Structure formats: C-alpha cells, structure tokens
Amino acid sequence: MSNQSIIFFDIDGTLLDFDKKLPESTKKAIFDLKARGHEVAIATGRAPFMFDDIREELEIDTYVSYNGQYVVLRGEVIYTNPLDKDALLQLTQTALEQNNPLVYMDADDMRASVPEEDEMITTSIHTLKVNKFPTYDPLYHQGREMYQCLLFCIGDAEKKYEQEFKSFDFIRWHPMSVDVLPKGGSKAHGIAKITEKLGFPEERQYAFGDGLNDVEMLKQIYNSVAMGNAEPEAKAVARHITKSVDENGILHGLQMVGLLD
C-alpha cells in the first residue's frame, strides 16, 4: 500500500473527449497505472447503465456513480443514498405545474414524467451518446429507490426549486438540464466511502475532473487535477491543471503528478 495510489476519473470531458470518444493515450495510461499496481476508479454523474461499456473497455469495477449516490467497490455495492421519496413526490407536482419534465433514475433504468418525445430531454441526453433513452412512466419513482433525477429547464429556472426544496441539491450539467441530488450528496462523499474502506491516506488519493459536479471532489482530494477544458469553478479549487482532454490531458496530468513517466 505504501507505493500504491487510487485515482478517480470523471467521464465526460475527462476520460471521454468532446466527441465522447476515449483517446488512445488515455486508455494506455489507465492500463499503465494498473500495471504499476495502482487502483483506478471512475467518479461520474452518470447512471451505472450509462457507462458499462467504458467500464468493460478499461476493465474497471470500482466506481462512484450518480454523483456519489451509488458506490461500487470491486463489483460490490457498498453505499447508496436515495432521494427522499416525499420530497420527490412534491418536486414532481411542482415540475408538472411549471412544465418542466423530469427523468427518474434508479440503479437499473430511467423513466420520463412526460409521454411525448420532449425536445429538452432528447437534446440533452443525446449529447451523452448513450444507447439508452427514457420511456414514459410517470409513476416509476413510486416504490423504488431513486438516486438522481434530471430536471429539464433553461436559464436559471432551478433557482426557484433550490428555494423550495431544501432536501435536494440542483447542479446544472447541460443548458437544458439539471441534476437533482440528495442534499449534500457529491462525488467527494461517495469517494470517501471507497478510500476509507481501502485505507488510502490522503496523499495517495488523486482525482481528475472538469465539471461543476467535480468541484467538491477536486476540493476534497489532496492530489486533484482539473482538465484544461474544465469549468473555471473546477480549475479554481484544483491543486493542478493539466491540458485539455483532446490534447492528451489525462496522460499529461498523470505525468505531471508523477504517477507515470
């Protein structure tokens, strides 16, 4: 353990480039890390079913998904933090009144609150270039554990939701969509469940990210690296800043912090 580190990677804009492709230099770097005995993990806002192909390609079975609400260590679920059911019911009612669609997400699937193919849902989810798309089931959240919702709204419309729903956090990930999370839930919190269980000291913890949902992670992890394409808020709290994802940013960052030659 003395020379072993754990490295957490965000997916979109970090592992994957702007075309949602995995750069060859990044793939090689991940396998080089593992060959040196390091633990490699993913920390993402995506649902588990939205990146199973990436996990398979990179042979990674430890991950923090749903921005920290569903955590898996070496193939075993070790922590879950679902949305409050009563508050979610109230959110559903308010969102319908405001004509803001919702997508409910559990560990296995996602369903939409509106029947027709909504433009905001279609536009934002298609940017992820995933094979799955939500079908209509307005009651899907009832009797199930939901770990995240997508609220579809534009501008700063989430501000009114923030004021009304104190048990949720609202984090924008797309001009048309906001992640709805349990209050205080974050990648940082989910990561801590893994590092505590494995016993990694803070100086042996690394994290790479680029988005607003990476801010808490980059603030908490001792060896944090923001991508060159990262949001200003992410760069402001990171210990290091590497090159852009499309400029071999992962490889450069790992070399910069001394994990690879």
Residues with catalytic roles: 10
CA-CA distances (angstroms) from residue 40 to 29, 44, 75, 108? Answer: 11, 13, 13, 23
Tell me the sheet residues that pair with 50: none
Spatial separation of the C-alpha atoms in residues 74 and 76, rounded to whole Å: 6
Which tokens belong to 128?
């992820």
Alpha helices in the chain (DSSP H): 24-35, 52-58, 85-97, 119-126, 158-164, 187-198, 215-220, 232-237, 249-256
191, 68 in Cβ contact below 8 A? yes
Spatial separation of the C-alpha atoms in residues 211 and 18, rounded to whole Å: 13
